[in-house]
Amino acid sequence: MHIQWYPGHMTKAMRMMQEAVKQVDCIIYVLDSRAVYSCINPKFDELIKNKPVLYIFGKSDMVEQDDIKKWAKTFSAQGKNFVIADNLSGKQRGIIIDKLKKINAEVIEKYAQKGAKKSIRAMVVGVPNTGKSTLINSLCLSKKTVTGNRPGVTRGKQWVSLAEGVELLDTPGAVPPAFEDQTRALHLAFIGSIKDEIVPYDELAIEIINYFRQNNTQVFCGRYKLQNIPEDNIEAFDSIAQNRGYLLGKRGYDYERTAKALISDFRSQKLGKIMLDYPDDIKEA
């Protein structure tokens, strides 16, 4: 399966960000903790290379804490600023604001010496569906941006202000224009950062089966009441459909329903807290 998705609105979004980055002091880079490496867009890195960056390990409650700590250790070794956040609770709000002020301490002090108070302007970036708007809403303590559990909800730039003297610019999610590494593309499809309409349900479900055949087999078998995961993917589909009762009467098994259930179970953690990318698997975060 080959994945390629770069709709026209992403080209427009990147152009908008190229202009907006000139107006901001720093960047908030939101990463989905389930696929940290896959969420790093090289085009963003080119765009923000001259700005202080605060990385947010979002949706951290969807992975094991020992696993996300491995990424924290890696980023610390690289001198990167980060906060581990769950996006929804807002518990990390104070930490994030303090970190933003810390990475902008030089410009804040520069204004202070002139007797002026500097309002920090931060642009929030990330691939689709990483939780950028949800994070902003938790920082604002109210719903000020449009959110949705699907890629492509945010289409234009939206400014919001915090009482602590921080202004945030929400931006549309964007993936790389081309996926040289199809594993990264697949991981983004797993977590819903690529529109489901782009990747056929059955093919994505088969890739999920392949993943669990190599990882967390016991959890998978327990969920679908299997003795093992058959090597033949059709046989695996048949077994799951039969055990879940996804039947079409005399016409056999309901493969579409089975595929959608597999994808939904993965994303809703019914197959466990899964981290797809580990620092040890790659050369550079």
| DSSP codes joined into one string, the chain | -------HHHHHHHHHHHHHGGG-SEEEEEEEGGGTTTT--HHHHHHHTTS-EEEEEETGGGS-HHHHHHHHHHHHHTT-EEEE--SSS-TTHHHHHHHHHHHTHHHHHHHHHTT-PPPEEEEEE-STTSSHHHHHHHHHTS--S---SSTT---S-EEEEETTTEEEEE------SS-S-HHHHHHHHHTT-S-TTTS-HHHHHHHHHHHHHHS-HHHHHHHHT-SS--SSHHHHHHHHHHHHT-B-GGG-B-HHHHHHHHHHHHHTTTT-------GGGSS--
For range 152-157, the mean pLDDT: 48
Quick one: pLDDT at residue 6? 63
Quick one: pLDDT at residue 49? 87
28 and 108 in a single domain? The answer is: yes
For range 206-229, the mean pLDDT: 95
pLDDT beyond 70 at 251: yes
Task: Express each pLDDT in 187-215 by its tens digit.
Answer: 999 999 998 888 899 999 999 999 999 99
Domain boundary among 170, 192, 217: 170
pLDDT beyond 50 at 154: no
**152 versus 2: which is more confidently predicted?**
2
57 and 158 in a single domain? The answer is: yes
Domain boundary among 130, 155, 170: 170
Q: Whole-prediction pTM value?
A: 0.89
257 inside domain? yes
Q: How many domains does the chain have?
A: 2
CATH number, domain with residue 236? 1.10.1580.10
210 and 260 in a single domain? The answer is: yes
CATH number, domain with residue 71? 3.40.50.300
For range 229-256, the mean pLDDT: 93
What range does the domain containing 274 cover? Answer: 200-281
237 and 163 in a single domain? The answer is: no
34 and 160 in a single domain? The answer is: yes
Instruction: Provide the mean pLDDT of the chain.
Output: 88
